[in-house]
Structure 1
């Protein structure tokens, strides 16, 4: 039996030879091929094929050794990547992902965007083919409105004036004629404006409504020839009113005419059936009076009467002093005492009928 471990390999030469055909009459023999000696013919074809194998192996190894991984700077073999989310720089995109990119990307020519596409906003003064964003347009519109003449100070008016009008110049002229200048306008008709809040003190236009309600300050008392107070006024009837609703009036008079409930209300002046007297305010004629205080009736008066019987040459002049206590003290100015025939009168300083001539009006207070 042949020991395979002891068999020597055929010599391999890096050659590319034609494979010979064994002809009739050749006697195959073992060993190394030597065609001249007709030796080793049994291994002749195998030896040539082995040479071809070595020839190919040498070149394949050289090719493999020459191949490197591809990168952005080196040409070589790359791995295919079938995802659009990879950040690899040494892998190639598959055809499938290339198609996906094609279907989800807009073409450069006449793209039809979807969703909410965005772009960098150009400077306001830009005048190129750069995309105009909404922010750019808004800025240009604002600049256009601010720079438009006073007669066409809104974009809507400007757009209306710029319509498909064959007589544009005439239309604009007529539109301007209907507008008032910003400086010293001479308005006609019955122009209106928002009525300012009560107590407003600013350059805001004062409407007739505001003037009628605010020309007098809160706390002013006036008499009206009417049965109900006008707008902006309350009756001087001593009523308790809200400190919040009538905050301006409360700030003006406080609790001078009564504290109300002491927390949320205060009292109005009570002027019904009363005569109004000026506050002394330090003069000394009516000393001790404070704002909002009242006085009862008080009088010291002299009543002169004539005697019922006068002797010749005498005049019955009788003077009676009537103090506030209604107790009178008579004396005779002529030196004679009054007798039973004299007239004796009593004068009272108070009573339901003690009054001067007067006119009844409705006292109201401005709030």
Structure 2
């Protein structure tokens, strides 16, 4: 009894046995159609076994400036990035890459510095493909991607590409988050956050952000206009759903109000019934008049005592606000 000769190669397609085929056993390369599919699948299995189970070499690349990598630098290797300086680009020459090749990158977590990985290939990473051509990796993150049919497909890792810009609250510092406290930060240090907020959020100049007694402090600012930007300051504030024309927040329901728009405190308009006419002699002489019927009376104009606190508020718990980057 013979056995199939397995070859560690990735078969791009599995043959479909047709009705017109003569079902014949034996060597698939010599007309044994019945064994052709099994041969192709065996080849794939051996290829995957070799690539997933063998111990890959580890290569460490320090990123102080822009660097270039070739296929020999990444094939069958776990590339460890020591990103010593943010904003640098790692260009990967993928010329000659074949289907089934897996590339892996891990960024050391000593800091949160970010580097851009350019492969010259579209990368299928998130459902909305925000990072199809601009993939940034921060210290502490890793990912693996498989090449197939002209694209790279993310298959594993802990790269945080979802929910960037999301506001979180916590008792402890939140992972891959910045405190939402109005701080100026470098665009190169947090490129993913700047990339998305500059595309979707309402950005004001830093002069506008700092003016108006905090009326613009819920927005991101453009910082110095080139290399920095400012975070919103959410400290001490509640979050309210943007009205966006629904008509509940009547003071802020036009299209001119964007995510991050500030609103001062207020009390809803209302009236009180006041009957405060007193017979003459009952109070200090602070003015008087006649009611038309000949009866003398006095007006009382005393102020009420102050009651309450510094603001109108519901019961609440204070937690530190953070923004995902």
- For the criterion TM > 0.5, the same-fold answer is no
Structure number with higher strand proportion: 2
Structure with larger Rg: 1
Bigger proportion of residues as helix: 1
TM-score, normalisation: structure 1:
0.34
